[in-house]
Amino acid sequence: MNRFIAITFLLSLTTLCYAQTPYWIGDGGRGKSIGILIPESQGLPEEQDYIPAMVQGNLVTNISKYSAISVLDRVALDRVISETLDPTYQDNLDIVRLGHVAHVGYMMTGQVRRTSTGYNLQINITDTADGRTIASYSGTSTIADLDNLTAIQLASKELLTQMGVSLTQSAINELGAVRTQQSIGAETALARGITAQRQGTEVAALSYFFQAADLDPSLIEAATRSSVISANISSGNIGADARNDIQWRRAWVARLTETEEFFQRMFTTADPPYTLFYSTGIQQGRINYQTETLDLSIPINLRMNTAWISYIQGVVQAVQTVNDGLVATGRKNAWELSGWPDRGVTNNNPFYKNWQTDYSIVFELLNEQNRVIGRQTIRITSPYYNVDAADYSYTLIRRTYSESTSSTVHFTNVKADDISDNLTIQVASINGARPENIRFPIVALSDVKWREYTITNHWADMEFTNITQRSRRTATLQANASQFYRVTVSAANTTLTAYTESNIDTLMWLYDANWNELAHDDDSGSGYNARISSSVSAGTYYFRVAGYNNASGPYTMVLD
């Protein structure tokens, strides 16, 4: 009887341990091992040559995360393939042979093929013991579904199920959801880096790896690959072919040429890294009673995408690594390369110049009859970015950029009789092209959303701290930064009294839920502390606290 109870207890304990995992029920494939090869490609254009590596990487991530199956990492798998005398695997016998060398029970192979209707993804999992196919997937998707990883997520779910992994609803939900733009960007950059590395373009690979690690620090593979390349480049040693000073210089000029040409090509062919925002909240201006016309206006903002800012940081790190290697040779000055990267070795050096574009944007004002009653052309210069040396020692590389450019569109002398209750704003053209042909997003924001947008992007570090009446919050103000507090009022005619306690000079603002400023203060509190007292109705309100003249230090926010 006791033995039966003990066995029952052990079985229940085992089941309980399996059930506690968030992504699978049961053993999750524990004890199985797999190597995932990069899929073959067929018909992919050059600009999509990174997709097979991205498919491989996402499959590695998903099998590792959503099961207990041991996945051979890509760096180790590449090493196994490079050490194999014949690194081509065309049938199941070849796959079995590779599986034995890699010491895994299963091998995953596949193909990404461009068809007349889309992109076909085929995946097979082979048992390396006998060459049997134990799981497979075939599906057609759009390039967008591959780029945002949803097609690969679907394939992962099907393959895991066929391999006997019982997924939880949480796993199924995650595999069916669209990943964040930051996560997608990191996976894409890593795949581009691996592709560039396999093509022998080290500097391009290094830049992509830096970008991937910056977007997603949990991508250990990106950090590992970048550290290996960085060590090779920054040592200054080109290799055994550098038998004399002239050959050594020639090899370094080739590396600098590769660096300049890659980034010149990247900067000139990439989609413009901007988003155009404009408000549909039309502001009324001057009225001319003689001509019965009036002026109307809207604000606009051309903003650089945060992903591109991250990419530029990857460029800086890659160029810094190349420059460190050049300095490490001890021959930078003697080789007459002392001014690199600002003074390049090619005619199209992409460094030491502001990259920006002038845009001519035509806005139209339409009434309820869809008739154009106002048209205005505005010229705006995009934000800039630049990569160059920080000083004339040419040892430290930096990035400089502007985040956005703002302007106002003025519709002048609009006839009062043409104005209807509801007016529409639209972009008619940008540099002569229709909006649908523009290679960057155009976003129209309501008046409320525009205020939220301008607040959020003016104070990029904005985070909300919830606060209730009759409470205190201790915090530290940073220079050039603001801190925000959110309070919800449930009763009408409520008096909100907020003040700071500190040894620094504080400023305070009060906004309503639509970001209309209700009050602001400098020194109404004790000493140089700010204090606001305002009667409000039920709703959500925001307090902003900042330091006068960029003052910083600890303080306490008090709300009575």
What is the residue-wise DSSP string for 402-468? --EEEEEEEEEEEEGGG--SS-EEEEEEETTB-GGG-SS-EEEE-HHHHHHHHHHHHSTT--EEE--
**pLDDT tens-digit series, residues 469-514:** 999 999 998 776 788 999 999 888 899 999 999 999 999 999 888 7
Confidence check: pLDDT of 1 > 50: no
Here the CATH number for the domain that contains residue 284 is: 2.60.40
Residue 101 has a CB neighbour count (10 Å cut-off) of 14
Residue 320 lies in a domain: no
For residues 419-446, give the mean pLDDT. Answer: 93
Among 401, 417, 447, the domain boundary falls at 447
- Asked if residue 501 and residue 422 are part of one domain, the reply reads no
Instruction: Return the minimum-mean-pLDDT range out of 9-23, 321-335, 437-451, 485-499.
Output: 9-23
- Which has the minimum average pLDDT: 65-69, 215-219, 223-227? 215-219
Of the given ranges (315-329, 387-401, 523-537), which has the lowest mean pLDDT?
Answer: 387-401
Q: Which residue has the higher pLDDT, 101 or 332?
A: 332
Question: Which residue shows structure tokens 């796959």?
Answer: 95
In a domain, 235, yes or no: no
d(CA 238, CA 443): 48
Question: Is position 293 within any domain?
Answer: yes
In a domain? residue 513:
yes
- Same-domain check for residues 467 and 408: no
What pLDDT shows up at residue 20? 61
Q: What is the pLDDT of residue 15?
A: 44
* Chain segment 492-504, per-residue pLDDT in tens: 889 999 999 999 9
Query: Which of 156-170, 236-250, 320-334 shows the lowest per-residue confidence on average (mean pLDDT)?
Result: 236-250
Q: Are residues 424 and 479 in the same domain?
A: no
- Residues 554 and 536: their CA atoms lie apart, in Å, by 29
Among 447, 468, 495, residue at a domain's last position: 447
Return the closest-CA partner of residue 224 out of 199, 197, 244, 242.
Answer: 197
- Tell me what pLDDT residue 270 has: 87
Do 294 and 382 belong to one domain?
yes
- State pLDDT tens for residues 81-138: 665 545 455 555 555 666 666 678 898 999 999 988 899 999 999 998 888 999 999 9
Quote the mean pLDDT of the chain. 87
Q: In terms of domains, do 548 and 423 share one?
A: no
| 452, 512 Cβ separation under 8 angstroms | no
Establish if 240 belongs to a structural domain. Answer: no
Residue 336 resides in a domain: no
Tell whether 173 is covered by a domain: yes
Task: Note the pLDDT of residue 96.
Answer: 61
Residues 508 and 426 placed together within one structural domain of the fold: no
Residues of the chain with pLDDT > 90, as a percent, come to 63
Same domain, 366 and 510: no
203 φ, ψ (degrees, to nearest 5):
-65, -40
Higher pLDDT, 157 or 12: 157
Q: Are residues 535 and 497 in the same domain?
A: yes
330 conformational bin, left if phi > 0, alpha if psi -120 to 50, beta if neither = left
In the predicted structure, residue 23 carries a pLDDT above the cut 90:
yes
List, for residues 126-161, the tens digit of each pLDDT value.
998 888 999 999 999 998 899 899 999 999 999 999
Query: Residue 42 is part of which domain span?
Result: 20-179
Q: Do 437 and 484 share a domain, yes or no? A: no
Q: What is the DSSP letter of 123?
A: E
Measured CA to CA, the distance from residue 406 to residue 382 in angstroms comes to 9
The domain spanning residue 112 has which CATH number? 3.40.50.10070
pTM value? 0.70
Question: What CATH number is attached to the domain comprising 525?
Answer: 2.60.120.380
Q: Could you report how far apart the first and last alpha carbons of the chain are, in Å?
A: 67
Of the residues 179, 201, 222, the one at which a domain ends: 179
Q: Is residue 283 scored above 60 in pLDDT? A: yes
Structural domain count, the chain: 3
What confidence score (pLDDT) does residue 552 get?
87
Question: Among the listed ranges 209-223, 225-239, 254-268, 313-327, which one has the minimum average pLDDT value?
Answer: 225-239
Residues 37 and 150 in one domain: yes
The per-residue pLDDT for 218 is 86
Which pLDDT tens digit goes with each residue over 181-213? 888 989 999 999 999 998 889 999 999 999 998
Judgement on whether residues 466 and 414 belong to the same structural domain of the protein? no
Q: Which residue has the higher pLDDT, 164 or 11?
A: 164
CA distances from 252 to 139, 256, 258, 329 (A): 46, 6, 10, 10
Q: What is the pLDDT of residue 508?
A: 93
Asked whether residue 252 is assigned to any structural domain, the reply reads: no
Q: Tell me the mean pLDDT in the region 337-351.
A: 94
Q: How confident is the model at residue 461 (pLDDT cuts 50, 70, 90)?
A: very low
Q: Are residues 292 and 432 in the same domain?
A: yes
Query: Residue 268: left if φ>0, alpha if ψ -120 to 50, beta else—which one?
Result: alpha
